[in-house]
Amino acid sequence: EVQLVESGGGLVQPGGSLRLSCAASGFTFSSYWMSWVRQTPGTGLEWVATIRQDGSANYYLDSVKGRFTISRDNAKNSLYLQMNSLRAEDTAIYFCASGGNTAFDFWGQGTLVTVSS
Amino acid sequence: DIQMTQSPSTLSASVGDRVTITCRASQSISSWLAWYQQKPGKAPKLLIYKASSLESGVPSRFRGSGSGTEFTLTISSLQPDDFATYYCQQYNSFSRTFGQGTKVEIK
């Protein structure tokens, strides 16, 4: 059974940093592009970042470029999102998802990030 | 960025009804479109990819069609488990974009 389990969310002040993790199991993680997608009541679903299978290419939403970094460790079947210089508008539920070069096949349950003073 | 516009935003229907949701892209995306179903407090679930290909395990009452800029998701006979919010998403270009969602409610 495919499982994606996010962790690392929480409350952070504006300008702060947070690192999200996603533990993958039930599929050959190293064979899949992986992505982060976020959701807020106001803006709906929003793609954030995607990384190629071997980590050789990354793609980002314009508003997070230079602040967020997507990475992966195929030996640990894990995906990461380092978020720096956080803003109130980054407040959302962050989902880890397989895919991104095509559709998003499987999704984790999400982790809530709240940026507030 | 490619804008995705869904209609309607909300749809009231009864069990057994045929339901159609429309998604329009601001420019041609060929057939690079997916549909997702999301229930409250849950992650989205992939239903359809490449505009009309049914994801494994998804009931055949779900059908996707269209190409270019106009796409539809049809549920042939609405079931109690289908009351949810549906999103379209394009993957023709990076960055990927989603429609704003269509909530299917019980009439």
B52: contact with A, CB 8 A cutoff: no
pLDDT, one tens digit per residue, over A34-91 is 999 999 977 789 999 999 999 999 999 999 999 999 999 999 999 999 999 999 999 9
Measure the CA–CA gap between B78 and B52, rounded to whole angstroms. 18
CB A95 within 8 A of CB A38: yes
Looking at residue B54, its pLDDT comes to: 97
Looking at residue A96, its pLDDT comes to: 98
Cβ pair A107:B44 closer than 8 A? yes
Give the residue with greater pLDDT, B107 vs A94.
A94
Q: Which residue, chain included where needed, has tokens 């998804």?
A: B58
Looking at the predicted structure, is the pLDDT value of residue B25 above 90? yes
- Strand A10-12 relative to strand A111-115: parallel, antiparallel, unpaired? parallel
Closest Cα of chain B to A23: distance in Å?
A: 16
Task: Report the pLDDT averaged over residues B12-38.
Answer: 97
Measure the CA–CA gap between A72 and B75, rounded to whole angstroms. 38
Mutate to test the interface with A, among B95, B100, B103 (most CBs of A within 10 A): B95
A42: contact with B, CB 8 A cutoff: no
Coil, helix or strand for A103? coil
Per-residue confidence at B95, pLDDT binned at 50, 70, 90?
confident
Looking at residue B107, its pLDDT comes to: 87
Residue A102: which of B36, B42, B91 has the nearest Cβ? B91
DSSP H stretches of helix in B26-89: none
Measure the CA–CA gap between A19 and A7, rounded to whole angstroms. 9
Q: What is the mean pLDDT of chain B?
A: 96
Closest Cα of chain A to B10: distance in Å?
A: 14
Question: Token digits for B49?
Answer: 């990819």
Mutate to test the interface with B, among A3, A47, A62, A70 (most CBs of B within 10 A): A47
